């Protein structure tokens, strides 16, 4: 049994930000970074459209967010008077993501922020993985981000404002052993970010990629389970941070998201926001 993660620090409520009336569409929202973002933005006054597969996959073979997690998220937001609508669907299927995006825009009247967060991870040498494993990684992490943005972008263009944040990784800025397919998908998000920033600047739409080191989420538990290691061992194996921590917290990711999605970052676009605990300096 993998060692469970320690409790996160803070209360998940960054200060000095007000997103009242804004609408954020989040993929991979049932747990981990997506769930933390959904809660925090709802607490800051935003309307949240929370999209998740809400089911397990044959690859990778660990538990993902499920329908109960998605329902619990909705109940928690409703409990503090926040605004949320949840969607169970697959970012790899265009009709699925298109229907959710259109419904969210109709329900809330607009979409202001897209957090492209849905993703998976796994280990294998390039010569050991099969074609299905490669396709799953690229389809979910990269194609899913493109399909989601494809249907969000027309709303941003029409209103001539908006922010897209693509959740990449430190693996989108350097290579890792036994993670070539994961790295390829996360580097691909950088290419999308830079291209979309060029395409969308005339419409006052900003695009940024976020690059965290290992984050204290169930993602590490899943990798630990299939590797037969502890979550901390997985974090240290995948990272090797310069600062004395095996991982960062979802609160740290939310703080970055709040800044990037706000007018405080009004001149930030096409760039890579690194949240690496110094890893890339080593």
Q: How confident is the model over 241-270, as a mean pLDDT? A: 94
Residue 142 domain flag: yes
Higher pLDDT, 38 or 240: 38
User: What is the CATH number for 206?
Assistant: 3.40.50.720
Catalytic residues: 182
Q: What percent of the chain has pLDDT over 90?
A: 80
Arithmetic mean of pLDDT over the chain: 92
Q: Which domain holds residue 269?
A: 23-281
Radius of gyration of the chain (CA): 17
Residue 147 domain flag: yes
Residue 14 domain flag: no
Banded pLDDT at 89 (limits 50, 70, 90) = very high
Q: How many domains does the chain have?
A: 1
pLDDT of residue 126: 97
Residue 115 domain flag: yes
pLDDT of residue 19: 98
């Amino acid at each position: 049994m993998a060692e469970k993660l320690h409790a996160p620090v803070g209360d998940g409520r960054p200060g000095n930000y007000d997103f009242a009336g804004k609408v954020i569409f989040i993929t991979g929202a049932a747990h981990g970074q997506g769930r933390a973002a959904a809660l925090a933005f709802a607490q800051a006054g935003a309307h949240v459209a929370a999209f998740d597969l809400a089911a397990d996959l044959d690859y990778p073979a660990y538990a993902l967010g499920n329908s109960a997690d998605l329902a619990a998220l909705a109940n928690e937001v409703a409990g503090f008077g926040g605004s949320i609508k949840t969607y169970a669907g697959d970012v790899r299927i265009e009709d699925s993501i298109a229907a959710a995006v259109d419904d969210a825009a109709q329900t809330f009247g607009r979409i202001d922020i897209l957090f492209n967060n849905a993703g998976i991870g796994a280990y294998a040498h390039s010569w050991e993985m099969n074609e299905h494993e490669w396709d799953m990684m690229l389809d979910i992490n990269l194609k899913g981000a493109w399909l989601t943005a494809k249907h969000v972008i027309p709303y941003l263009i029409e209103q001539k404002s908006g922010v897209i944040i693509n959740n990449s990784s430190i693996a989108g800025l350097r290579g890792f052993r036994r993670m070539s397919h994961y790295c390829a998908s996360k580097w691909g998000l950088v290419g999308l970010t830079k291209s979309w920033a060029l395409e969308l600047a005339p419409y006052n739409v900003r695009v940024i990629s976020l690059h965290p080191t290992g984050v204290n989420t169930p993602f590490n538990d899943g990798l630990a389970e299939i590797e037969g290691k502890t979550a901390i061992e997985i974090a240290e194996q995948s990272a090797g941070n310069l600062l004395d921590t095996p991982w960062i917290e979802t609160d740290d990711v939310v703080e970055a998201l709040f800044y990037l999605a706000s007018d405080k970052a009004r001149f930030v676009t096409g760039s890579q926001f690194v949240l690496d605990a110094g890893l890339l300096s080593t």
